[in-house]
Structure 1
Amino acid sequence: MKDFFVHESSYIDEDVQVGEGTKIWFFCHVQKGVSIGSNCSLGQNVNVANNVIIGNGCKIQNNVSIYEGVELKDFVFCGPSMVFTNDLTPRAKYPKGSENYKKTILETGATVGANATIVCGHNIGKWAMVAAGSVVTKDVPDYALVAGVPARKIGWVCECGKRLDEESLICGCGRKYQKTETGLKEIDRSNL
């Protein structure tokens, strides 16, 4: 007995793992070798290509294709019609095969806004936020807010999603951060 939901219009290939409480809605296709964690939601018309790994609690909105080579850690949000790639120099006549795809990892809590594009081989840091319509052409640091074409850092965001004050790096929710080589790091709240 399965403990997840798949709408009757969707197709799940063999050799797919789907976690408890996950919901796969209308017209989705989940291909061979995929692993989807628990309590995820795949909106209408989502395609998950071979061997993709999706963590727990991820929300993938309508019209998103997650191509082979992409990995989503826990609590990643993919906005409507955002785009992943997996080949920097694609040619229909000269396919390279999956062994040549560039890997892209979205770390825990990362958010990608509607219609944004993530160029393959670039990772999105923990709790980072990519604004709608942006094109990511380099790695995004932890907790960074990036926007534009190409995407550039325009600020910092808290784990709760609110924009942080650039000087204090303190959020109204009580979280406080400090800068590191990889972006921001939360400071223990008991030290506040």
Structure 2
Amino acid sequence: MQNSYFFQQSLFVIRYRYLMKMSSFFRKNYYRLQGMRIGKGTVIPKLYTTWPHQVAIGNNCILEHHIYFKYDGIWKEGFSIEIADDVFIGSGCEFNCTSKIVIGKDTLIASGSRFIDHNHGTSVEHIMRNQQSSQQAIEIQEDVWIGCNAVVLKGVIIGKGAIVAAGSVVTKSVPSYEIWAGVPAKKIGYRK
């Protein structure tokens, strides 16, 4: 029993302290060569991105696996997805961007959350897939907590210190320190 514990503990340390950091080192350099900005202390897990040069990640960020940074447009200079320092992003999150998505520092984003800054046209004169999309930037200010499987849509600003409950669909801007939940999300409380 005691030997099994030490063996498993040793494997855990090897896997998470050494192998993850080593693979993160190679991923960081690979993405940096393609123009992604990655801050100090940020570990890069296995993720997906269409245009790495469109993504800027700050210092000391914690990213879990299978995050998708999708810049949905043609090549251009500058960053379209900007993540500030000390941000946590859970597994399976998607940043689907044609305009801009900005995540403020100290923000927590739980697994499966989606950020989509554009929408299809809905005119009856043309089929939807051929219509010009409308787009508007998303801004998440600092110290925000977004629960798992939340969806944040175009033009939304989530104010400093706000909370968005799990499974919410945010279609309107959330003022600072308010708690929102539901589909569509609405105010259910206030942080004191």
State TM-score, norm by structure 2.
Answer: 0.71
Please state how far the C-alpha of 1:9 moved relative to its aligned partner: 7.5
- Say if 1:4 and 1:49 are closer, same or farther in 2 by CA, change over 3 A: farther
Q: Look up the equivalent residue of 1:102 and give its one-letter code.
A: Q
Please state how far the C-alpha of 1:102 moved relative to its aligned partner: 1.1
Partner residue of 1:179? none
Partner residue of 1:6? 24
Please state how far the C-alpha of 1:89 moved relative to its aligned partner: 2.3
Partner residue of 2:83? 54
Structure 2 spans left out of the alignment, 5+ residues? 1-20, 72-79, 122-127
Please state how far the C-alpha of 1:49 moved relative to its aligned partner: 3.2
Alignment of 1:15-30 (within 5 A): 15-29=35-49
Please state how far the C-alpha of 1:110 moved relative to its aligned partner: 1.0
Partner residue of 2:9? none
Partner residue of 1:144? 178
The 10-residue stretch of structure 1 (46-55 or 108-117) with the greater mean CA deviation from structure 2: 46-55
User: Is 1:132 the equivalent of 2:166?
Assistant: yes
How far, CA to CA, are the matches of 2:129 and 2:108 in structure 1? 30
How far, CA to CA, are the matches of 1:44 and 1:8 in structure 2? 15
- Say if 1:34 and 1:5 are closer, same or farther in 2 by CA, change over 3 A: farther
The structure that has the greater radius of gyration is 2
How far, CA to CA, are the matches of 1:9 and 1:15 in structure 2? 12
How far, CA to CA, are the matches of 2:129 and 2:145 in structure 1? 31
SS in 2 for 1:32: helix
Length, aligned pairs only: 153
1:142-165 residue CA offsets vs partner (Å, 9 max, x unmatched)? 0110011111111112xxxxxx3x
User: Is 1:37 the equivalent of 2:58?
Assistant: yes
Structure 1 spans left out of the alignment, 5+ residues? 158-163, 165-192
8 A Cα contact 2:106 2:144, kept in partner: yes
Q: Root-mean-square deviation (CA), in Å?
A: 2.5
- Say if 1:83 and 1:92 are closer, same or farther in 2 by CA, change over 3 A: same
8 A Cα contact 1:5 1:22, kept in partner: no
The percent identity for this pair of structures is 27
- Say if 1:4 and 1:139 are closer, same or farther in 2 by CA, change over 3 A: farther
Partner residue of 1:122? 156
Work out which of the residue numbers 114, 123, 130 in structure 2 matches 1:93: 130
